[in-house]
């Protein structure tokens, strides 16, 4: 890390810690709009690893060549997941996000075939049932962002036999949400909607924004996270 990045890190941690504490969705979207121009450099300073780790997990389980697969990046933000998808050969990628300014940053990358403004949890995804070979959502499953009740909407737009990859943080302040999320994921599996392929804990997820947040994380000031991967059940027609 450069001297400039080191000097800026306390500001970055304060900004991200504050964003984690916002539970009102409209307020959080305004924060993301304001944050969009500096988002990439801030999460780089945080040593945020989730996009690459999640796409690696998806890629390992994917059946067939990636270049023709249709992928939906939900809560795509500035397109960090899109960068990782392209690097692994996934070239047919669409994205949705609730922040217009984040979508502008994603559009500038030139990686997405289509980008749509959509606040998941308040409105359905703008896609027909069974559209995508895989759906991925990284970094948006926490209080004040995408509610657990929106998970079936991800399944709806996934093709039978397709993959759904999700992540969430395991730091203390996010544990109530993580517990509710896992109850939702388990209930869908028990209902025969999908099968779990992976539940991968990751120790060095990102730098903690406070000393209190390292309780369940790794050493060196990091918090932990987890990647979930599911395959939608293929039903007889």
Give the count of beta carbons closer than 10 Å to the beta carbon of residue 80.
24
The verdict on pTM exceeding 0.85 is yes
β-bridge pairing 132-137 and 158-169: parallel
All residue ranges of the chain with pLDDT < 70 are 1-7, 215-219, 236-237
CB 135 within 8 Å of CB 189: no
CB 222 within 8 A of CB 208: yes
Tell me what pLDDT residue 148 has. Answer: 96
Q: What is residue 15's predicted lDDT score, i.e. its pLDDT?
A: 85
């Amino acid at each position: 890390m450069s001297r400039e990045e080191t000097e800026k890190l306390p500001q970055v941690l304060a900004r991200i810690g504050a964003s984690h504490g916002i539970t009102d969705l409209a307020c959080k979207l305004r924060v993301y709009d304001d944050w969009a121009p500096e988002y990439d450099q801030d999460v780089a300073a945080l040593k945020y690893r989730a996009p690459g780790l999640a796409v690696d997990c998806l890629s390992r389980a994917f059946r067939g060549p990636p270049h023709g697969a249709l992928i939906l990046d939900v809560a795509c933000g500035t397109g960090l997941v899109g960068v990782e998808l392209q690097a692994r050969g996934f070239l047919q990628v669409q994205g949705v996000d609730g922040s217009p300014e984040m979508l502008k940053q994603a559009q500038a990358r030139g990686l997405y075939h289509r980008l749509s403004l959509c606040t998941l949890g308040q409105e359905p995804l703008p896609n027909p049932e069974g559209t995508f070979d895989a759906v991925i959502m990284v970094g948006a499953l926490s209080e004040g962002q995408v509610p657990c009740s929106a998970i079936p909407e991800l399944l709806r737009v996934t093709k039978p036999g397709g993959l759904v990859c999700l992540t969430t943080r395991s730091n203390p302040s996010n544990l109530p949400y993580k517990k509710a999320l896992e109850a939702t994921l388990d209930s869908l599996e028990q209902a025969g909607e999908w099968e779990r392929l992976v539940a991968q804990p990751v120790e060095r997820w990102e730098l903690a924004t406070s000393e209190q947040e390292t309780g369940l994380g790794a050493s060196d000031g990091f918090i932990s996270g987890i990647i979930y991967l599911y395959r939608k059940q293929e039903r007889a027609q």
